[in-house]
Amino acid sequence: MSHSHEHDHEASAAISNRVKHLIGTLERRGILTESQVDATIHSFLSKARPANGFRVVARAWVDGEFKQRLLTDATSAVGELGVDLSHWAPVRIRAVENTHALHNVIVCTLCSCYPLSLLGPSPTWYKSEAYRSRVVRDPRSVLDEFGVRLAPDKEVRVWDSTSELRYFVVPERPAGTGSLSEAELGELVTTNGLIGTALV
Ligand code: FE
């Protein structure tokens, strides 16, 4: 673990140096300034919060037609709810639905790609080498450690995100929630539920 941790630090130092070099080049050529880059990132992150994702899931639970549009083209369906998906790079998002027969879980095996606009910054464990490598090889054990115990006959699918295409999970609507309002349903949803490391 300590070895891979050091490796992560080396990798992030290398990326950080490349970013500094790139921004320096852009500044020298008069294309943009570091403060413009910072302002863009801050503006994006100020709108990127998990409440966006919770709202999308609650709407899908109460509105079957919205859910179909969400599963067909999540980028445009999420846009219908007024969630700002503008980003510093083109990103498509895709919703994957949990059912009684299927449980989905997301990862970025290469680095830490994540549906930031819907969920805000990712949890530290999501970026860890341990999660990224183990959830692909043995998703059931990892899910078990998160307290998600699945029936043996339930299929588990792991979705590997990229910088261009990022997944999120639509959990199953919990039983006994028929009388709850859409807003109350949204309060049941958790960040881990949208990653697939919780049932809701
Ligand atoms: Fe990544």
Q: Calculate the CA 9 to chain-centre distance.
A: 22
Give the Å distance between the CA of 177 and the centre of ligand 1. Answer: 35
Cα gap 167→143, rounded to integer Å: 17
Task: Please name the residues in contact with 81: beta carbons below 8 A apart, sequence gap of 6 or more.
Answer: 52, 55, 56, 59
Cα gap 7→165, rounded to integer Å: 26
Residues designated as active site: 108, 111-113
Q: Could you list the mean pLDDT of each consecutive 10-residue stretch along the chain, which spans 200 residues?
A: 62 86 92 88 86 97 98 95 77 95 97 91 95 97 97 97 94 97 98 98
| Residues, CB within 5 angstroms of ligand 1 (ion) | 108, 110-113
pLDDT for res 1: 45
Give the Å distance between the CA of 182 and the centre of ligand 1. Answer: 32
Give the Å distance between the CA of 168 and the centre of ligand 1. Answer: 14
Short-list 182, 176, 187, CA closest to 81 = 182
pLDDT for res 3: 56
Give the Å distance between the CA of 184 and the centre of ligand 1. Answer: 32
pLDDT for res 126: 97
Give the Å distance between the CA of 107 and the centre of ligand 1. Answer: 8
Angle at 197 (CA atoms; ends 192, 200), nearest 5 degrees: 60
Query: Which residues partner with 95 through β-bridges?
Result: 168
pLDDT for res 91: 86
pLDDT for res 13: 85
Give the Å distance between the CA of 64 and the centre of ligand 1. Answer: 31
pLDDT for res 4: 59
